[in-house]
């Protein structure tokens, strides 16, 4: 028996998230079907975590136990030949039997992308939230800074969260603005990437943070309110959940 | 009556090219339907040229004559509200009545994109040809240089071309390699963008040039053969027509 750790990249537009669900059509279903097709084995893969319907992943790790003797360097090509074009395995390695893609994860980074140009980018339309109205980016940066640290993030978690504790640590959060496609004569603000890293994220957490920060950017809230929202420990205190299509699981780190 | 010049950006994946065809489902059809919906007028738009099925445009100009009094600055938003998400009008201006988007064009630039990394980019899968095998980029650059000048490009034109003359001028052609997503440990070569500019292009011309240059990059032909292929004035002398999905109309210039 071997424990294989792989990394998958996917365009989540057509899927109900990573993890298998009664309704089917998830990334996990596609990966397990490809492994079954390749090896004949019925395996259960373990992702680094869930992603919501419509959320993308640049690099999501998963592991599974296999008795297959296929050399590790052959797996990417062999699985990719059996996967739809919007899912690709980008790396594979053998790890210790006690390694677990979710439980062993130390740090995760998500990226949320907002296109703040007047006209949306047709080539990125499934990967960006389009927000043509003026955004106060420095207010958003200031608001975001209040979320760094170890906090109870109940206000930024789905009401349906089933976790016993909502305490998590966000150790880094930053906003980068790419103005390469912005046309100043059109009041274009560029493409805003929000990167957020921490030891774990609650259901909808990044999307609620972004939905709330957009209200800060629109001038509907002051940046300082982010601190009060955290302290309220009440989902009602925060803003709406931003659309899933702008969210991408960027990376997962292990020791 | 006013003559309006607009620029359209589109993801051509789902369309049979720019120009109206008996089978329907073209960019022109969608634009004319949106204009009809907005103004009630049945207009015929004139593109800067045709594009093949599956080819994209970053910025394709088109013009049409209208009696609508809608101010020019309102057109983008109004048409975009009536267009599918893979087509967006990005600019609009009023021009002289004798301006013609195709006949007045002085210079066009196309970009062809080859992903030469081992694993394709799922987010760019409809906009890149995936070529995981080793490419000799400097041989491709040398081969491309033989095409610059004023030449009869019959060898690089579809057999179905109906043009009286196949003489065109290519004034610039270059290859840029973006290695930002390449992982050296995977023998990734990066994303290869081929930019080619000239006063006009024949049917399939850029795609046949790319299909032939790929054979140079693979070592199947010498770069110097590009000169002999040109001189042959015979489609059979050149290589295959590269897939349409990697091609994008980049820009069209006027005086």
**Interface-testing mutation among B75, B117, B119, B124, with chain A (most A C-beta atoms within 10 A):** B119
Please state, rounded to an integer, the average pLDDT across all residues of chain A: 96
The token pair at A64 is 């599974």
Average pLDDT over residues A114-128: 96
A80-98 tens-digit pLDDT = 999 999 999 999 999 999 9
Closest by Cβ to A76, choosing from B56, B88, B119: B119
Run of H or E including A252: strand A247-253
**B112 has binding-site annotation:** no
**Is a pLDDT exceeding 90 seen at residue B52?**
yes
Prediction ipTM score: 0.94
Average pLDDT over residues A109-123: 97
User: Is the Cβ pair B125, A85 closer than 8 Å?
Assistant: yes
Active-site annotation holder among A29, A52, A171, A188: A52
**Is a pLDDT exceeding 80 seen at residue A248?**
yes
Cβ neighbours of B153 (radius 10 Å): 26
Q: How far is A57 from chain B (nearest CA, A)?
A: 10
Residues of B in contact with A178 (CB under 8 A): none
Q: Given CA atoms B239, B243, B246, B248 in this order, what sign does their dihedral have?
A: positive
Residues of B in contact with A127 (CB under 8 A): 123
User: Is the Cβ pair B85, A56 closer than 8 Å?
Assistant: no
Q: Where in chain B is the domain with CATH 3.30.70.660?
A: 107-253
The DSSP output letter for B113 is E
Q: May I ask the CATH architecture of the domain B2-95? A: 2-Layer Sandwich (3.30)
* Contact residues for B2 (Cβ-Cβ < 8 A; gap 6+): B65, B66, B67, B68, B94
User: Is the Cβ pair A119, B56 closer than 8 Å?
Assistant: no
- Please, are residues B195 and B229 in contact by the beta-carbon 8 Å criterion? no
pLDDT of residue B23: 83
Res. B184 pLDDT band, cuts 50 70 90: confident
**Is a pLDDT exceeding 90 seen at residue B195?**
yes
B70-87 tens-digit pLDDT = 999 999 999 999 999 999
Res. B59 pLDDT band, cuts 50 70 90: very high
**Strands annotated E in chain B:** 2-10, 46-47, 56-66, 87-95, 107-115, 129-130, 149-152, 167-178, 191-198, 247-253
CB pairs under 8 A between A and B: 46
User: Is the Cβ pair A86, B119 closer than 8 Å?
Assistant: no
- Please, are residues A209 and A196 in contact by the beta-carbon 8 Å criterion? yes
What does the DSSP assignment read for B188-241? ---EEEEEEEES---TTHHHHHHHHHHHHHTTSS-TTHHHHHHHHT-GGGS-PP
Using the Cβ of A76 and the Cβ atoms of chain B, whether some distance falls under 8 Å is answered with yes
**Is a pLDDT exceeding 90 seen at residue B30?**
yes
Res. A139 pLDDT band, cuts 50 70 90: very high
CA–CA gap between residue B30 and residue B23 (Å, rounded): 13
User: Is the Cβ pair A122, B80 closer than 8 Å?
Assistant: no
* A29 catalytic residue (yes or no): no
Q: Which of A241, A186, A191, A232 is nearest to A212 (CA)?
A: A241
Average pLDDT over residues B149-159: 97
Res. A124 pLDDT band, cuts 50 70 90: very high
- Scanning the structure block, which residue is given the tokens 């290869």? B192
pLDDT of residue B181: 85
Closest by Cβ to A123, choosing from B89, B90, B127: B127
* Topology, domain A107-253: Alpha-Beta Plaits (3.30.70)
pLDDT of residue B112: 98
What does the DSSP assignment read for A142-204? HHHHTT-EEEE-GGGS-TT---S--EEEEEEEEEEEE-TT--GGGT---EEEEEEEES---TT
Q: Which of residues 84-113 of B touch A (CB under 8 A)?
A: 85-90
Run of H or E including A113: strand A107-115
pLDDT of residue A23: 84
Residues of A in contact with B180 (CB under 8 A): none
Using the Cβ of B225 and the Cβ atoms of chain A, whether some distance falls under 8 Å is answered with no
Average pLDDT over residues B158-187: 91
Average pLDDT over residues A136-154: 98
CA–CA gap between residue B25 and residue B54 (Å, rounded): 12
CA–CA gap between residue A123 and residue B128 (Å, rounded): 12
A150-200 tens-digit pLDDT = 999 999 999 999 899 999 999 999 999 999 888 877 789 999 999 999 999
* Contact residues for A240 (Cβ-Cβ < 8 A; gap 6+): A208, A211, A212
Scanning every residue of chain B, which has its alpha carbon at the shortest distance from the alpha carbon of A90? Answer: B119
Run of H or E including B80: helix B75-80
Using the Cβ of B165 and the Cβ atoms of chain A, whether some distance falls under 8 Å is answered with no
């Amino acid at each position: 028996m071997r424990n294989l750790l792989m990394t998958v990249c996917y365009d989540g537009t057509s899927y109900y998230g990573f993890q298998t669900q009664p309704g089917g059509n998830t990334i996990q279903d596609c990966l397990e079907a490809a492994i079954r097709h390749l090896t004949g084995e019925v395996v259960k893969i373990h992702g680094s975590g869930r992603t919501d319907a419509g959320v993308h992943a640049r690099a999501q790790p998963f592991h599974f136990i296999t008795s297959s003797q296929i050399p590790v360097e052959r797996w990417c090509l062999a699985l990719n030949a059996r996967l739809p074009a919007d899912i690709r395995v980008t790396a594979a390695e053998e790890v210790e039997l006690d390694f677990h893609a979710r439980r062993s994860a130390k740090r995760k980074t998500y990226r949320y992308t907002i296109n703040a140009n007047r006209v949306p980018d047709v080539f990125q339309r499934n990967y960006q939230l389009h927000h043509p109205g003026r955004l106060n980016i420095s207010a958003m940066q200031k608001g975001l800074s209040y979320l760094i640290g170890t906090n109870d993030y109940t206000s930024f978690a789905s009401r349906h969260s089933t976790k016993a504790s909502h305490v998590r640590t966000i150790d880094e959060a930053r906003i980068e603005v790419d103005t390469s496609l912005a046309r100043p004569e059109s009041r274009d603000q560029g493409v805003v990437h929000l990167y957020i890293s921490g030891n774990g994220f609650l259901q909808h957490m990044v999307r609620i943070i972004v939905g709330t920060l957009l209200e800060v950017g629109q001038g509907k809230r002051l940046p300082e309110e982010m601190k009060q929202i955290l302290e309220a420990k009440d989902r009602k205190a925060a803003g709406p959940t931003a659309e899933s299509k702008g969210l991408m699981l960027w990376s997962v780190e292990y020791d």
